[in-house]
Structure 1
C-alpha cells in the first residue's frame, strides 16, 4: 500500500496532529509539562505531553502533544490524579476523532482513549525488564515471547536486537 500525504503535513506544526496519526497508536507518556505555545501564534500555555518513543513511524520523529481540556480530563481519569506531575510513564492510545467541535465547525482532533492499553510498553530505561527481554531474544532468536507480554516500539526492537548482536 502506498503511503498518502495528509494536507496538514504542509503546515509543519511542532506538535502532534491528526495528520500524524493514521491509526490508533499506543504511546508512553514520558512526562507532561506546562509550557508556552511553540508556534508563537499565541501567548497561551498548554499541558504538553512528551513521549518515551522517539519516532511515530520508522524515520519520522514523534512530536509532543498538546493536551486540551478533554484529553487532560482523560489523563486525570487514567492516572487517578489531577496533577500533571503524576502523568508520567503512562501508556495511552491516541486516535483521531473526526467530529471534534471547534466553534461551529466539526474538525479532526486527537483524542486519548479513556481505556488503558492492555500491554505495557517496554523501554530501555526499565532496566530489569529490558535485560529479561534481551535474555529471551538470545534464547529464542526472536521477539515473539517478549511481544506476547509487552509492546515495544519498532525503534526499541531494533535497539534491543542490536544490543544482543553486539554482546554476542
Structure 2
C-alpha cells in the first residue's frame, strides 16, 4: 500500500494517553456528558486532581474508544455557561461539541488544545432506538442506500447510535440473507 493510501497517524498516538487529546479529534464531535468527576491523574505523571468528564458515547469512531476528557479552567468555564451551573455534578447529560483549537497557550507556548462549545442548534429530530418508527425507517434507508446520508439530511443521530444502527442492520442481514 502506498504512503498516500494509508491512514495517517498523529505522533501523539504513540504516547497512548488515557485521556482525550487533540490527536484523537479529526473533526469536531458532539457528545453527551455521562458524568463529571474530580479524580487523580491516570497517567501517574503527577499527583494532581483533575476535573474529568466521561461520555455516554463509547466510541469516537467505529472501533476506537472515546476516552474521558480533562477539563482545564477555560473548558470548565464553558461547561458552566452551557449548563448554567458551576457544580460539576450538574454537568451530567450536557450535550457538548469538542474541537481542536490550534492556538492554545500552554506554558508560554502555542499548542493545539481541546475546546468545548455548545452544539450547533438543530431543528432536526434526533433518531434513537426508543423512537421505534424513526429507528426502523433509518435502518431501512441504510439497507436500501448502503449509507445514512439521506437520513442525516433530515434528522440527527449520535455516533454511538449510528454504530448501533449499522451493527443491527449487519446482524439482521446475517440472520436473514436475501435469496
Assess same fold via TM > 0.5: yes
Corresponding residue number in structure 2 for 1:20 = 24
Cα distance 1:167–1:123, how it changes in 2: closer, same or farther (>3 A)?
farther
Corresponding residue number in structure 2 for 1:155 = 163
Q: Is 1:77 the counterpart of 2:77 in the alignment? A: no
Q: Is 1:118 the counterpart of 2:124 in the alignment? A: no
After the TM superposition, which residues 22-61 of structure 1 pair with which residues of structure 2 at under 5 Å, given as runs?
A: 22-61=26-65
Corresponding residue number in structure 1 for 2:134 = 133
Cα distance 1:132–1:45, how it changes in 2: closer, same or farther (>3 A)?
farther
Q: How far apart in 1 are the matches of 2:36 and 2:170?
A: 30
Cα distance 1:89–1:79, how it changes in 2: closer, same or farther (>3 A)?
same
Provide the aligned length of Structure 1 versus Structure 2. Answer: 162
Partner SS, residue 100 of structure 2: strand
Q: How far apart in 2 are the matches of 1:12 and 1:122?
A: 33
Q: Please give the TM-score of this superposition, normalised by the length of structure 2.
A: 0.77
Q: How far apart in 2 are the matches of 1:107 and 1:17?
A: 12
Cα distance 1:89–1:163, how it changes in 2: closer, same or farther (>3 A)?
farther
Q: Is 1:96 the counterpart of 2:104 in the alignment? A: no
Q: Unpaired segments of 5 or more residues in structure 2?
A: 143-147
Shift of 1:41: 1.0
Cα distance 1:160–1:89, how it changes in 2: closer, same or farther (>3 A)?
farther
Q: Look at both structures and tell me which one has the larger radius of gyration over its CA atoms.
A: 2
Q: Please give the TM-score of this superposition, normalised by the length of structure 1.
A: 0.81
Q: How far apart in 2 are the matches of 1:72 and 1:162?
A: 40
